[in-house]
């Protein structure tokens, strides 16, 4: 990520929708819209470069809808503002994780001593089995 992109996704790029939440809340749950859906359109974002958008799309492809949006919801809390903050922070962390570039794996080879140890242990194991077989026949 560029230093410019260390900023969070701006609130102007987020679309929030609300609905009735299930679960705890008593009678309040029937009359207030506490469940929050946060929609963020990856393609229309002005915060990230095309390369970063591509990486986000690849990493979050299971979360993208037909409108190129990442949708995150929250209904854990009883208040709409707490759910909104929770959903936005989840979206932020998803995007940060998606932008992490994995370290390249360097192929390594076993050392000579580890090869010798392996062969020695195989020989010992073979000897134990051979001794058992000879004892069994007698």
Q: How far apart are CA 75 and CA 122, in angstroms?
A: 57
pTM, to two decimals: 0.68
5 has pLDDT over 60: no
Q: In the block, which residue shows the tokens 């995007």?
A: 95
CATH of 3-99, one of 3.30.160.20, 2.40.10.220, 3.30.70.270, 3.40.309.10: 3.30.160.20
pLDDT, position 88: 93
pLDDT, position 134: 65
3 has pLDDT over 50: no
Check if the beta carbon of residue 5 is closer than 8 Å to that of residue 48: yes
Average pLDDT score over the chain: 86
- Dihedral (Cα; 37, 38, 43, 47), 10-degree rounding: 180
Query: What's the count of helices (H) and strands (E) in the chain, helices before strands?
Result: 4, 3
36 has pLDDT over 60: yes
What φ, ψ does residue 18 adopt, rounded to 5°?
Answer: -130, 150
């Amino acid at each position: 990520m560029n230093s410019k992109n260390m900023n969070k996704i701006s609130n102007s790029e987020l679309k929030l929708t609300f609905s009735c939440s299930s679960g705890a809340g008593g009678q309040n749950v029937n009359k207030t819209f506490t469940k929050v859906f946060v929609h963020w359109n990856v393609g229309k974002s002005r915060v990230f470069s095309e390369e970063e958008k591509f990486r986000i799309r690849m990493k979050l492809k299971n979360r993208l809808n037909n409108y190129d949006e990442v949708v995150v919801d929250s209904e854990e809390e009883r208040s709409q503002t707490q759910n909104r903050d929770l959903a936005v922070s989840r979206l932020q962390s998803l995007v940060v994780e998606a932008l992490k570039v994995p370290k390249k794996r360097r192929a390594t080879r076993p050392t000579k001593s580890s090869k010798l140890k392996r062969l020695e242990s195989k020989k010992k194991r073979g000897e134990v089995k051979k001794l058992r077989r000879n004892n069994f026949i007698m």
